[in-house]
Amino acid sequence: MSSKSIIADLNKDDKLNGDNYDTWRHKIGYVLDEQDALEGINQVMQDPDVGNTAQQRRDQEAYQAWKKKDSTARAILVSSVIDDLIHECEQHLTAHDIWVYLREKYEGTTVNHLRQLTIKFDTYKKKVDHSIKQHLKTMSNMIRELTSAGHILSDEQQVQALI
């Protein structure tokens, strides 16, 4: 899947809404990597002193390069969340801060989160307007989210749920 189609998905149906953090995190990681902006979420730099030494010039160049990646990463992150979260994201000064905030808010294998995923999986029914392919994709995503949260379903449980 190309980064353009992932961005289109994120801007359409797959924006972070609180229930889809694991899937969103994987897609955003791919997009940030493709846009050479992963450094924006993995690193924070301070504006170095301006000066004429070779080291100061290198530090300033490194900072400017990071600042561009941070700006790109921030734009991608903010555009990939539902409208209700945009204001919360904009309160953070760097892409790294946004990333940490969203991870702390939505990631986790808390009992409550796992319970929500399990209920969602157990009560999911194929939507009338969805094709079998869409149904299988949705089920696969839920199984992946459960696995990431530490709940491994047996093959038999997965087949039974699909049927």
Whether 78 and 53 map to the same domain: the answer is yes
Mean pLDDT of 11-20: 76
**Helix 21-34 and helix 132-148: axis angle, to 10°?**
90
Clarify whether residues 101 and 32 are in a common domain. yes
Tokens 């734009």 correspond to what residue? 75
Of the pLDDT bands very low, low, confident and very high (cuts 50, 70, 90), residue 77 is very high
Q: Chain-wide mean pLDDT for the chain?
A: 84
How many residues are there in the chain? 163
Is 135 found in the same domain as 101?
Answer: no
Residues 83 and 118 in one domain: no
Please indicate, yes or no, whether residues 7 and 78 belong to a single structural domain of this protein.
yes
Percent of the chain with pLDDT over 90: 38
Structural domain that includes position 26: 3-106
pLDDT digits (tens, 9 = 90+) for 103-154: 888 876 556 677 888 888 888 888 888 888 888 888 888 888 888 777 788 8
Q: Are residues 76 and 141 in the same domain?
A: no
Number of domains in the chain: 2
Regarding whether 9 and 80 lie in a shared domain, the answer is yes
94 and 115 part of one domain? no
What is the mean predicted confidence (pLDDT) over 17-22? 81
The three-state (H, E, C) secondary structure of 96-157, written as one string: HHHHHHHHHHHCCCCHHHHHHHHHHHHHCCCCCCCCHHHHHHHHHHHHHHHHHCCCCCCHHH
- pLDDT bracket for residue 14 (50, 70, 90): confident
Residue 49 contacts residue 56 (beta carbons within 8 Å): yes
